[in-house]
Every structure is written in structure tokens, then in C-alpha cells.
Amino acid sequence: MTQPTHRHRRTVLKTLAGSSLALIAGCTGKAAQSDETNGETAVQRDGVLEHVAIEKTTLVVELANDDPDVINLIEPTGELWKSRDVATGAERVSFAIGTSYTPGEHRVLAVKDNESIAEVALDIRPQLEILDVGLYRNHPEKPWEEVYGEGPSKIEINSQAFVTITNTGSGPDKLTKLHFTGDIPNKTEAHHESGLSRKSPTQVGAKETIDVFSDMLPFGLPYEDDEIRCSIEGTEGEFTVSIETQVAKQPIEKTFSVAYSGANEMRECDIAVGEI
């Protein structure tokens, strides 16, 4: 990147009043082109803002030329959310998005001498989906000991479940609740706890897939007389996995088929889970 011999930096106000209105108003430029590669959600653009991408939980801006002083990130409401000074010779700046943001169209503005010189719009929002659910007895390769430690017995770990979550959206999110309802030994919807193991991953970045782990023994010994039980002949049913998240707000659900067979005691039971 070519730099001028001398440079006079100016202080860019970070409010919506007075001269700062120019810093969030935007500018006229070439249309951005969306691209999704290598697990990133990106916008590519000729000019000042060469490449703008969401990398899991971070917004990365690569600069091409014109030497901007400041890069501003504008919320969907039109308010200035974050601002980064551009060091002399810098070709890249980044913003930690985290999971406390307003989903929707954000704008990235390049500012020089208190004037916007380039703008890119980027939709930042999560799109979570439940892919799979399983138990230790069927998936011993999962990191059960890392999550639950070496203390719990195999009976206790056999009572827990993992749920595979994928985020096909363009923004990160964080799981806050995991619950199981339907034909399972221990329904968890009445519990006020999150239902997530203390050491379970909960944050899922854009274009990322993770396994989360339960904490409420959904496949343990039945607590109530009317809950489903195992039998030698076999018992079939359906159950629903529900998750809640910090950004998306709306619960996400998926229903699975389940068959219990081979024993009269749940701890000895063969449990087969399938998609419907």
C-alpha cells in the first residue's frame, strides 16, 4: 500500500451529533459483491475497502488504498457501534462482534479527514439449526470426559446427551438453554437451569458447527411414574430438542424418533435415535 510522505491525523468524533453525522451518512461507490469461502461470510469490493469478512466472531476489514484515518461500524439502527483508528501503513483492522449485537444490516465506513470515502453493507445475523443428538453409549468418541470430568460414572454419562448445532448464518450466537421434551425418561422443560453442562461449548461462530452437552440427565432413570421406560420388547416414541440463544431470541426446535429396547432398566437399555 502506498503511503504519503507526511500525514496529519485528525480526531474523529464518535457521536451522532454535529460533524459526526458525516461519518455515518455513507458515500457513493461501487456495489459490493457477496462471497462465502473458507467458512467466512464476506463482501468484496474494489477501492478502499478491499475485503470485509466475518470470521467466526470477528469482523475483519482489509484495506486497499486511499489511506483512511478511521473505520466505523454502524448498527442497523443507524447508530455508530464501533470505531477503529487506522495506523499508518495498516492494511487490516478488525472488530470483535461477540454475541451482544443487533442482528441485521451493518455498514462499514472508511473515513478520511472527517469525510466518508467508502462504504460496504454487510448483513450480520445468525441462523442456527439442530443437526443431530446422541448418547455416550452410541458415540463414545465425543469428548465426554473433557466436558464431565473423570468423576461421573458411566451410568451418569450415559444419561446425558450431546446436540450438534450448526450456524449457517453470517453472525455469531451463544446458546443459553438446552431442553428435551416428549418421550424421554426425564423431561427438562420445567427446569429453570440452562440445561447445558458447565464446560459445554456455547458460542457458535458464523459458518461453524459445534457439539453442546446436556446437564439435566435427560436419558437417566425416570423421575415420574408416567415417563417412558425401557422394555425388552421395545418402546418407541418421539422427543423434541429445543435451544434458546442470546442473539436470535426465538427458540429453535427439532424432533427425533427414539426406540428403547433390550432391557427393563434404563441403565441397561439400548437407545436408538433417528431423524423424522
pLDDT, tens digit only, all 276 positions of the chain:
444 433 333 333 333 333 344 444 554 443 344 445 444 555 555 479 999 999 989 999 999 877 899 999 999 999 999 999 999 889 999 999 999 999 999 999 999 999 999 999 999 999 999 999 999 989 999 999 999 988 778 888 989 999 999 999 999 999 999 999 999 998 887 667 899 999 999 999 999 999 999 999 999 988 777 788 899 999 999 999 999 999 998 999 999 999 999 999 888 899 999 999
Give residue 156's pLDDT. 87
Contact 107, 81 (CB under 8 A): no
Give residue 189's pLDDT. 73
Residue 220, helix vs strand vs coil: coil
Domain boundaries, the chain: 18-124, 128-275
Give residue 267's pLDDT. 85
Please, which residues have CB within 8 angstroms of residue 71's CB and are 6 or more apart in sequence? Answer: 61, 63, 83, 84, 86, 93, 108, 109, 110, 111
Residue 150, helix vs strand vs coil: coil
Residue 213's closest CA among 159, 150, 268, 275? 159
Give residue 42's pLDDT. 57
Output helix, strand, coil percentages for the chain, rounded to the nearest 5.
5, 45, 50
Question: Look-up: residue for cell 431423524?
Answer: 275
Contact 184, 216 (CB under 8 A): no
Under CATH, what is the fold of the domain 18-124? Immunoglobulin-like (2.60.40)
Give residue 40's pLDDT. 55
Contact 113, 83 (CB under 8 A): no
Give residue 45's pLDDT. 52
Give residue 68's pLDDT. 93
> Would you say domain 128-275 falls under CATH 2.30.30?
no
Give residue 173's pLDDT. 98
Take residue 144 and report the three cell numbers written for it: 465426554
Domains 18-124 and 128-275 share a fold: yes
One-letter amino acid of 172:
P
Contact 174, 231 (CB under 8 A): no
CA distance readout (Å), 119 to 90, 228, 235, 259:
18, 58, 59, 55
